[in-house]
């Protein structure tokens, strides 16, 4: 692998313009993150009430459980952004990966300052996604439960379907059976379905005075049985720890509970983050030779102006060293080997449209990585596969399908970052969400849609006008159709629209990409080698 020689002129006006545009995008990202953390209508009052009750804010709780001065990688902080009238910041739930005694765990923690921690549809999706991340990466789960259960006004979008509330309990039971610890601290009401989060856990701690578990709360008990009882007498820490046995330990304060939880974690017999297994090639890491902060000057402020994937790779990988595969062929896809925080990886990155040669090159490279057991990192920036008569006649459909099939069946760990456009089937061939990358992050300049707004405006206007079958249409009407289509595509391809719906695991600052994927690779490195996949049939 040779050091990449950058051609970027950091003194140019274009570079300065790009940096200014990117820093403005990061300001927006940070503002929205703050809104998710402690913003929203009436939030100030509900935070005040939470603190008055002696309760601790959700992210501080996680901080009290995790090892001092270790990173917590939070997922999908902006889930729900722009949905539910923007009244459910972060969907009222925090998920992520953090270390306890050096062992990585997934955290699923309700934020009771948002709708009483009750679960809106995006909260359920986030909860289930965190469990799926735990399953694939071999991680235990710590549940910090402080939730009013299902958000009742939207119960039909939460309750019955495969990946709804029931799916979260199904996953919890199966994760436990795989030997992945399921540990709960009960810090609020766990009513009805919510009672099963602690009840399905391997070990449970309840905090006196705030933690409660019951299938039906006092109002239901009164209506059904005429019994009048206080919440604590019905399902408080004492009754469940000393009488029912639903809980294993009780703590008089949150701090005591987190100390107890850390003691439990010391007995779970899980591999630490630094227990690398031999199958994944690793050597001492070195920082990139080119500064990751220069990414801001490379990504074009105008998304119609392309930027070179090799310049991006130079700012992400160890020593900025890269071993390109087939560099003289299929140049609209860059493939090659590099080290990422010491881990040997195969990188596949777009330099624009995917042509037949580029698709074949990527397929070949995926097969090499699969055979050699090398994780794959996809850096998406493509408008999709090439269209047109020449391309069709050359068989782009079958060549694209080879790439899609190879990605779908690769069993080595896969990770995807949307660094620019993610359009059309390019999203699929480059390991989009539907292809189950272990983690998928997006940069705030990214765009995701079936096609770019410019293209959609022309294509859909033509279709709409065709449908009118020659009926008189004025220039103004045509302009209105074009504007409506453009607005729809621009809104729906916006990265905040995507992250709100959990099409990714979060928007990240490009300069954090190296560290975030570094942690993800370390999670894979502590696992056993994944079993190789079957032989594929490729349409030749």
Q: Which parts of this chain interact with ligand COA (CB under 6 A)?
A: 42, 46, 115-116, 118, 148-153, 189, 191-194, 217
- For residue 38, the minimal CB distance to ligand COA (Å) is 15
Choose between 187 and 362: whose C-beta lies nearer to ligand COA: 187
- Longest distance between any two alpha carbons in the chain, whole Å: 80
User: Among 266, 53, 222, which residue's Cα sits nearest to residue 146?
Assistant: 53
Q: Which helix (H) or strand (E) holds 325?
A: strand 321-325
For 185-204, what is the HEC assignment?
EEEEEEEHHHHHHHHCCCEE
C-beta nearest to ligand COA: residue: 148
- Cα separation, 62 vs 261, in Å, equals 11
The CA-based dihedral angle spanning residues 197, 201, 207, 212, taken in that order and rounded to the nearest 10 degrees: 40
Choose between 32 and 212: whose C-beta lies nearer to ligand COA: 212
- For residue 165, the minimal CB distance to ligand COA (Å) is 8
Choose between 50 and 414: whose C-beta lies nearer to ligand COA: 50
- For residue 213, the minimal CB distance to ligand COA (Å) is 12
| CB contact at 8 A, 445 and 25 | yes
Q: Which residues of 155-174 are buried (b: 16+ CB within 10 A; e: fewer)?
A: eebbeeeeebbbbbeebbee
- For residue 137, the minimal CB distance to ligand COA (Å) is 30
Choose between 153 and 287: whose C-beta lies nearer to ligand COA: 153
- Cα separation, 111 vs 93, in Å, equals 5
Cα–Cα distances (Å) from 17 to 20, 22, 446, 494, in that order, read 5, 9, 18, 21
| CB contact at 8 A, 364 and 326 | yes
Choose between 118 and 383: whose C-beta lies nearer to ligand COA: 118
- For residue 200, the minimal CB distance to ligand COA (Å) is 16
- Cα separation, 428 vs 199, in Å, equals 39
**Hey, what are 429's tokens?**
């061939």
- For residue 441, the minimal CB distance to ligand COA (Å) is 31
- For residue 126, the minimal CB distance to ligand COA (Å) is 17
- For residue 227, the minimal CB distance to ligand COA (Å) is 17
Choose between 240 and 361: whose C-beta lies nearer to ligand COA: 240
- For residue 191, the minimal CB distance to ligand COA (Å) is 4
Give the CB-side neighbour count of residue 279, counting CA atoms within 13 A: 19
SS3 151: coil
- For residue 173, the minimal CB distance to ligand COA (Å) is 19
| CB contact at 8 A, 313 and 347 | yes
| CB contact at 8 A, 389 and 429 | no
Choose between 235 and 444: whose C-beta lies nearer to ligand COA: 235
Choose between 148 and 437: whose C-beta lies nearer to ligand COA: 148
Choose between 125 and 402: whose C-beta lies nearer to ligand COA: 125
| CB contact at 8 A, 297 and 15 | yes
Choose between 152 and 387: whose C-beta lies nearer to ligand COA: 152
């Amino acid at each position: 692998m040779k050091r990449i020689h950058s051609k970027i002129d950091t003194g140019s006006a274009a570079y300065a313009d790009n940096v200014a545009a990117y820093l403005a995008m990061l300001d927006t990202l940070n503002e929205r993150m703050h809104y998710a953390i402690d913003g929203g209508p009436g939030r100030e009052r509900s935070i005040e009430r939470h603190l008055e009750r002696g309760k601790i804010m959700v992210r501080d709780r996680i901080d009290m459980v995790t090892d001092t001065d270790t990173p917590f990688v939070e997922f999908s902080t902006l889930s729900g952004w722009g949905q539910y009238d923007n009244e459910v910041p972060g969907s009222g739930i925090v998920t992520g990966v953090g270390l306890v005694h050096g062992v990585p765990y997934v955290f699923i923690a309700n934020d009771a300052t948002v709708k009483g921690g009750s679960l809106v549809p995006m909260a359920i999706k986030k909860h289930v996604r965190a469990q799926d991340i735990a399953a694939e990466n071999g991680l235990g789960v710590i549940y910090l439960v402080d939730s009013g259960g299902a958000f009742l006004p939207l119960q039909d979008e939460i309750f019955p379907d495969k990946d709804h509330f029931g799916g979260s309990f199904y996953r919890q039971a199966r994760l436990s059976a795989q030997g992945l610890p399921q540990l709960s601290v009960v810090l609020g009401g766990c009513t009805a379905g919510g009672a099963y989060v602690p009840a399905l856990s391997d070990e449970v701690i309840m905090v006196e005075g705030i933690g409660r578990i019951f299938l039906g709360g006092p109002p239901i008990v009164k209506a059904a049985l005429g019994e009048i009882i206080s919440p604590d007498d019905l399902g408080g820490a004492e009754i469940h720890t000393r009488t029912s046995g639903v809980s294993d330990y009780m703590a008089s304060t949150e701090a005591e509970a987190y100390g107890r939880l850390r003691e439990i974690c010391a007995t779970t017999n899980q591999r630490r983050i630094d227990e690398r297994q031999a199958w994944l090639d690793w050597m001492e890491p070195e920082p990139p030779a080119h500064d990751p902060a220069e990414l801001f000057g490379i990504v074009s402020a105008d998304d119609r102006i392309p930027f070179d994937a090799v310049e991006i790779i130079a700012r992400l990988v160890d020593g900025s060293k890269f071993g390109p595969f087939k560099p003289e062929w299929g140049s609209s896809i860059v493939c090659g080997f590099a080290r990422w925080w010491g881990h040997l990886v195969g990188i596949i990155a777009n330099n624009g449209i995917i042509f037949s040669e580029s698709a074949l090159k990527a397929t070949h490279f995926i097969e090499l990585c699969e055979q050699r057991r090398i994780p794959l990192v996809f850096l998406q920036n493509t408008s999709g596969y090439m269209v047109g008569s020449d391309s069709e006649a050359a068989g782009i459909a079958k060549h694209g399908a080879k790439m899609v099939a190879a990605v779908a069946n690769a069993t080595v760990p896969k990770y995807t970052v949307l660094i620019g456009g993610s359009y059309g089937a390019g999203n699929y061939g480059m390991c989009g969400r539907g292809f189950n990358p272990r983690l998928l992050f997006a940069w705030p300049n990214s765009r995701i849609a079936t096609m770019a707004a410019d293209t959609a405006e022309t294509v859909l206007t033509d279709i709409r006008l065709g449908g009118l079958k020659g009926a008189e249409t004025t220039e103004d009407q045509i302009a209105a159709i074009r504007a409506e289509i453009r607005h729809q595509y621009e809104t729906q391809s916006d990265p905040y629209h995507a992250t709100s719906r959990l099409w990714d695991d979060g928007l990240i600052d490009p300069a954090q990409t190296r560290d975030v994927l570094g942690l993800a690779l370390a999670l894979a490195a502590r696992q056993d080698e994944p079993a190789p996949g079957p032989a594929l049939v490729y349409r030749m």
